[in-house]
Amino acid sequence: MIISHLLIIARLRLRYHKREPSTNCRCDDIKTLARAESSASRAAVIDDDDGDEIIGMAIQIIQQFFLWAAFGLATLLLARFALDFNRELNVTLAAPFWALVLTTLGVSLANLLGRRKQSAAAGLSNKLRALLLAAIPLGFFASSLDCTGLSLRGCTPFCTFIKIIWIPLVAILCAAVYFWPSGLLRLAITAMAFVPMVPHCLCYNVGNGWWIDRVGASPMCYVWGLAVSVVALSAITNGKNGFVSLGVALTIITGATGFFISHHYFHFPW
């Protein structure tokens, strides 16, 4: 459409320069030229808007795919963790752990399955969105405390890299999304949440033992950080269940912090 309009304009300009028309003819050509230029301009704006909309829709589709993939991975890892937890520890400790796992997965699924609001941002207040974004790096940081405690050095170089470099990068990107809402930035955060899931942990315990025995290293250290990311990002992306999602995220962060204290300072539950 744009090309055809530009060709019309070019032909009119060529005619105008080659001919020596009367004043009336010249006025008619100028009016025709103006109408063609106006039409071409409107078509260009429409095509630009269509292009932006197509890119935005593509980013949304990829974002949903990544969120579903993250949900699937979190389900697999948390289910394995819960089974090992249930086998090694008594029901008093296993029951609340199972409850948190099922609640986390249930809220995540509700966020992903429900119909997306026309304007996701309109479904959540700025304050709620800020808290959900802040919960993402905090979830990974709380998970790192369970493994390495307050030390900057992890059990492997990769663990150290995640704690002192990757988590701060995630935090910076989350802050950027708050000030400059962008589907592309949310997609980047979702993709970054997969990196800590690379099997790397060598701490042999209830959560890691099954993986270490089979693949030589465990991906479990940051699984709760991944879970928080899925809950928070699915709520932000689809603009729904914001308060429930924040409650789940904060419960995970509080639980992980409590485990850090009990495990590192009181050697409980192991």
Residue range(s) defining the domain that contains residue 153: 62-266
Q: Is residue 179 in some structural domain?
A: yes
| Helix, strand or coil, per DSSP, at residue 201 | strand
| Helix, strand or coil, per DSSP, at residue 167 | helix
> Which residue type occupies 220?
M
Max CA-CA distance within the chain?
100
Bridge partners, 218 (sequence order): 201
Interacting residues of 107 by C-beta distance below 8 A, sequence separation 6+ = 231, 241, 244, 245, 248
Q: Is residue 213 in some structural domain?
A: yes
pLDDT in tens, 194-244: 999 999 999 888 889 999 999 999 999 999 999 999 999 999 998 989 999
Q: Is residue 193 in some structural domain?
A: yes
- Rounded to whole angstroms, the Cα distance separating 182 from 177 reads 6
Q: Is residue 11 in some structural domain?
A: no
Give pLDDT, residue 49: 53
Using H for helix, E for strand and C for coil, what is the string for 208-238?
A: CHHHHHHHCCECHHHHHHHHHHHHHHHHHHH
Q: Is residue 203 in some structural domain?
A: yes
User: How many domains does the structure of the chain reveal?
Assistant: 1
Interacting residues of 171 by C-beta distance below 8 A, sequence separation 6+ = 136, 137
Q: Is residue 116 in some structural domain?
A: yes
pLDDT in tens, 109-133: 999 997 665 555 457 899 999 999 9
Q: Is residue 44 in some structural domain?
A: no
pTM above 0.75, yes or no: yes
Give pLDDT, residue 24: 47
- Rounded to whole angstroms, the Cα distance separating 86 from 90 reads 7
Q: Is residue 178 in some structural domain?
A: yes
